Amino acid sequence: MKILNFGSLGIDYVFSVEHFVRPGETLLAKERQIYCGGKGLNQSIALAKAGAMVFQAGAIGSDGEFLLDTLRSCGVNVDLVRCLEEVGTQNALIQVNGEGQNCILLYGGANQALTQEMVDSAFAGFEKGDYLVLQNEVNLADQMIRAGHQKGMRVILNPSPLNEAIDRLPLELVDMFILNEVEGEGLSHTADKERMIFALRERFPRAAIVLTLGGDGSVYLEAGQSEPVYQRAYRVKAVDTTAAGDTFTGYLVAGLARGLAPAAAMERASAAAAISVTRKGAAPSIPNEEEVSAFLQRIGAETIHDESQEKFH
């Protein structure tokens, strides 16, 4: 079984700041780093590090060749990534403050210049039962959802970043949503964390829903079932939260794809995301399988009975 991740690839310019720049202010950053990023690329790396056979599709400009080297070095197949001449690679201008929180300004570049022909040709090598992983950082995501559904692929959408483009997607064709509480609120129209997963279920009855709730952990509700699976969040000292959601998504999907039960896949995804926030950068912060296993062993979390279960019942 193969995983097609049709998503964004980008260059992250990360500025370490005392506080986020205010309107009219000029601020001197403490440090600037340049990393590989883009939600698609980050998720492909997490998928590959978690052991999945992953094919990245998408586009870069001629300034983004090094992104492909990084993907290849992690074991991601990049044959379906086009290099465009007329437009640059996505750039993200990321401020990270002392608490490890970020704010991101995006120039979409090549990620917003995908064509129908690129979409059609990317799907040629995939079949029923393969997985399609998507985010909301490229144009033509609507066509990708339709193409994946038509092929009988399992369509998994991480609706991030949430913006008005989401409403134009055929969300009823999605088989699994992986989303955080901001995205959950936007799609469910409730801010009540305990109700949110059930409100999402009402709106998308045929989809599995996976909701991440920051310090409150994450919840998984399988399609057709009424009992959610809960996973607590692991407490770590956050240095940079960029790509924590991408790491969670990649590890979760890879785990499910190799047949792990949702609870086990969530445990590994949650551990991987926790490790990623203790490190700087997006793609470089994503741990490998051995690191995730060592983390879980260290905290004695192989069998989970956590407080978050009680919180939600």
Contact residues for ligand RIB (CB under 6 A)? 8, 10, 12, 37-39, 42, 92, 104, 137, 242-243, 245-246, 282
* Alpha helices (H) along 52-175: 65-73, 116-122, 141-151
Beginning with the edge strand found earlier in the chain, give each strand of the sheet holding 77-84 in spatial order. Answer: 77-84, 54-61, 3-6, 131-135, 154-158, 176-180, 208-212, 218-221, 229-231
User: Cβ closer to ligand RIB: 180 or 308?
Assistant: 180
User: Cβ closer to ligand RIB: 41 or 52?
Assistant: 41
Distance in Å, CB of 132 to ligand RIB, minimum: 19
Distance in Å, CB of 180 to ligand RIB, minimum: 10
Distance in Å, CB of 200 to ligand RIB, minimum: 21
Tokens at 213, concatenated: 């709730």
User: Cβ closer to ligand RIB: 8 or 308?
Assistant: 8
Residue 297 backbone phi and psi in degrees, to 5: -65, -45
| Contact status, residue 284 vs residue 41, Cβ threshold 8 Å | no
User: CA-to-CA distance for 90 and 127, rounded, in angstroms?
Assistant: 29
Distance in Å, CB of 273 to ligand RIB, minimum: 11
User: Cβ closer to ligand RIB: 42 or 308?
Assistant: 42
Strands 176-180 and 154-158: parallel
Residue in the shown chain whose Cβ atom is closest to ligand RIB:
37
* Matching residue, tokens 């202010």: 25
The conformation of residue 171, written as its DSSP 8-state character, comes to G
Distance in Å, CB of 128 to ligand RIB, minimum: 30
Beginning with the edge strand found earlier in the chain, give each strand of the sheet holding 10-16 in spatial order. Answer: 31-37, 10-16, 90-96, 102-107
Q: Which of 120, 167, 246, 306 is catalytic?
A: 246
User: Cβ closer to ligand RIB: 137 or 183?
Assistant: 137
Q: % helix / strand / coil in the chain, to the nearest 5?
A: 40, 25, 35
User: Cβ closer to ligand RIB: 42 or 56?
Assistant: 42
Q: Does residue 161 have a cis peptide bond before it, meaning omega lies within 30 degrees of 0? A: yes
Distance in Å, CB of 284 to ligand RIB, minimum: 10
| Contact status, residue 13 vs residue 92, Cβ threshold 8 Å | yes
The conformation of residue 156, written as its DSSP 8-state character, comes to E
Q: For this structure, is 246 an active site residue?
A: yes
Distance in Å, CB of 29 to ligand RIB, minimum: 17
180 DSSP β-pair partners: 212
User: Measured at the alpha carbon of residue 52, what is the angle toward residues 106 and 6, in degrees to the nearest 5?
Assistant: 35
User: Cβ closer to ligand RIB: 42 or 70?
Assistant: 42
The residues that are catalytic are 246
